Structure 1
Amino acid sequence: MVKRLAASSKGSMLDLEREQRTRAQQKQKKTELMQAIDQARVGKIRPYVKFQWPAVQLDEWQWDILESLFDPTIRRVFVKGNTGCGKGAAAGIACCIYFHIWSDAKIIITRDSMKMAQKIAFGEVDKWWREMAIKPPGALQISGVYDNKQHSITLANPQHIEGFRGAHSPHVLFWFDEATAPNLEDKYKLANTQAKKFLALSNPSTLSGAFRDAFPIVEPDKTQTILDQYGKTRCITVSGWECTNVKEKCLEQPVAPVGGVEIAGTFYPHGTPIEKMHFDQCHPKIPGQTCYDEFMALLHDSDPLIRNVYALGKFPDQDPDKQVILPEWLVEPIRFWRRWNQLWLRASQGNHPLARKLLNGILPVEGFGLDVAASRYGDTSVLAVGGRYGIRAIHECQFSDTQQTMWWVLETALDYGIDLKQGAVPIAIDWGGGYGNAVGDPLKKLNVHVIEVHGNATSDLDSQKYANKRAELYGEAGRRLDPAGDFRMIPFGIPDNDRLKAELIAPAKIYSGHDGEKYYITPKGRRGADENFMGKTLREMLGRSPDRADAVVYCLCALRDQGRRRLIVA
């Protein structure tokens, strides 16, 4: 009996000691957590992450995302990177932390579709929430987390604007996943009016839009902090080479990748099976992150778009889905014009009239395009001279009044042996802004064949494809230059002018129809632009008006009109 009482007393003492030890540990953990929260609030995020996910392994660029997002001086973080690098994992961790450290945090997550926002983006939040050592207050639900009206994580449907309004709180975080999606473009502005913090992730597959505009024009693929109208914005670029699984040459399949791989002193050429004992040493260090063999396959793809965008996280040189005229389309036209120009200079300097006559037949003058500047200050008036086989030259001037511009046009045409007053050769003039008609109306009185170009008018060529005349002008210019298009067997020359080239490739398609076919193009400036347009105008992108490109597409418009007139006469 005495022994049983002694044993019972001893057991109670052990239970009491165990309970006291547990309470002390819990108190210690709570103290550590509060200290970690306090540090996280001022941007020192690593202690909190190590406390909540002690086994987590993150790349330095993932730490950069977290530290930048919680830096009190940085409001927005934009991240572009290679496929499968782990951008979403960092974002999921960030949402869990932000929700925990601020009792009034409102986190809004969106993506290209509600289904994908729930499955992919919120899936990352769900995963990291479940692995937290001490979970925040609130109920984890299928598509969000709810604690109270002032403390929640919700999804915003990109099809409706309502989810991007009314998020009023000192701590609002918007996360845009796959942030280059076209249906998110008009949501950026609303989100930025409410966000205390803003996070946007994407593969950099576009040359235009709000996501691209957040990165600097100079060195957009360099990780850096910039200053914009919102304050400080952190722009992060992730290359596959920066991923742990790639650096450590971890493999997804037991087959040697492109370029081969060396494991434990044994080299396996591309395509050869890898022995199990060696493959076991190559398992991914970070689950779910792209591996060395996957990365090397992308890096050696024949398409430069795949290599640069999906392997190296760089913005593309061109965007076939959005650009009206691709840079590569100008390579042969410029080369063709250079050859012609060299021959013309030699013929002119050597005074060879027969050679000049022959070269005139290669690049004949059959039409003109004129973009009229407002005054002698700022932009220039530009006259494009060309024919069916290309643009012969572009001329620029700045005069104090439109009468001087008119006589300059007539004199320049005479230099090419063309008397515009005979009315045989057309000139297309931009009638918008009130400047073109100041030159065009007097020319009409002199019997010049003037074609009025109204950029906002309905397309008379293909109203199902072009939302207005300006889209038609650039769209048809692109059709003429496309080396795989209808005119692929007919050469065409474009002057070797860097400014002209930059202006031709700058306009992007802005789709207006539900069928994804009908489009406008990037507006020249804020004046006359649609009030819903959120991106940069051509003037903002180029630092000037695209006068040279406009003159060229007007010239092509004049040539098409001339072609139609000939058909009617015939």
Structure 2
Amino acid sequence: MLTRDAEAVYRQLSRADRIRLARGAPPELRPHLAALERRVQAQERYMYQPAAWAREVIDWQSGDGITAYQGDIMDALARRRRVAARGPHGLGKTTTGSLVVLWFATTRDAAGVDWKVLTTASAWRHLSVYLWPEIHKWARRIRWDVLGRAPFNDLTELLTQNLKLEHGAASPVASNKAELIEGAHADSLLYLIDEAKIVPDDTWDAIEGAFSGGRMDGFPEAFALAISTPGPTTGRFYDIHRRAPGLEDWYTRHVTLEEAIAAGRISEEWAQQRARQWGADSALYANRVLGEFRAADEDSVIPLAWVEAAVERWQAWDTAGRPAVEGRRILGVDVARSGSDSTVFVHRRGLLIAELVAYDRQDTMQTTARVQATIGTGDDDQVEEAGAVPVVDSIGVGGGVVDRLRELGQPVLAYTGAAKTKSRTRDGEWGFTNVRSAAYWRMRELLDPAFGAELMLPPDDLLLSDLTTPTWDVTTGVPPKIQIERKEDVVARLGRSPDRGDAVVMALWAENLASSTIKSPAARTARTTAAASRYGRSFGSGGGAGAGRR
């Protein structure tokens, strides 16, 4: 084995001197010199050519490889040092970031340079569930003979969320820990910012500090790759792409839908289906399919960014092992009105929407039986849990489910969207034209980040579309009243019924329904009356003036 000092001397030699040394070396040293020479050649070839590294060092299978736009992004990083790339969902962002991390680590370590990689994202889950497993995946595909070194040691080098080599390390850092990012120092630094659209400004500022001493030629050097699907027209990632003053030194790359389709990463049929599902003019379609920055329409009830933040909270809860959540167990039921619609069951616990389940082609009796089974009542007449109660849309065929549940002595909250309400907005200034308007606005208030939003929503694309599509207006009067877009108009724009959104909104409106709603017919038995009394106390006597306030 060669000592570190001997390797350092070898690296300083010219190519011709290295050849002469190898020819005259003792036989026992020749294998070590050959391996060292491969490392030196890899360093010289790939140090500032990440796309070539990805094409030649990774063992690609079945003719696969990086796309042209991935190569553009990688090589732009070597040339320009700061790259912000955006594009549609499915273009290969995590693969690009993972390959960049491995390129940087192996080339800098081969050169004997003091290096460091910090990976960050909008949420820790993106690092632990997506990025670092992807780094492991591609590390297993490295052609180690090309790099002239042994594979990473899983016990000492490539750990679960760290890569520790001889001269440096790659690590994850939460995006809300700007002080840890700011404290990074090395001769060669790389910052990878995944899901960059909602990374806080403090993190961007901390990264910027690393570039103060960086050089475009030689050491110290600093690189930053920010990559994401775009979101609303706010935040540093958006400012970079709009070329805001002071941010012109970032190189921006927009991967278009056409490029992703041509590269085989996205199918044209998928894009067309999403246009029908979300609406070709929606913010959701613009962000995830076109790779464009777009906020929800100004008159939308609920901004897309607020719903996406609630999905992030749900995914963090899911990743944490689904810990218990306090609160009453509620079942929201939106009953299908036609053969093409679905009956949707929403399972709620406090401010957690744990699950959405859709059932097709069920009549009212089947739906009634499923409601009983879901909340733990039926032939054995056992209540699974105190306070488990369904909220059912009472308009149209849903009325039949409400009537049958009451006939069976089952407490049920009937949601009537067209009914009048005296509820007010959080500040008490505005009223509502009907319960549907009040319920959707209540949903908006629960998602408003200005008030410490805690509501968690499952990752369901139809739900996101349902919640962000309806618009709102204000009618004149004292007080002025908020009017949410009629469901018929939403159906016309979406081409389908917003069943998932309505079911979630109903489930979250349970506390605002009057306790009298759960009264059954007069022939109710003593047992049923006691159960109704118990449920009524759990919800209080809301529904009067100000019942929607917080």
Both structures adopt the same fold (TM-score exceeding 0.5)? no
**TM-score, length of structure 2 as denominator length:** 0.43
**TM-score, length of structure 1 as denominator length:** 0.42
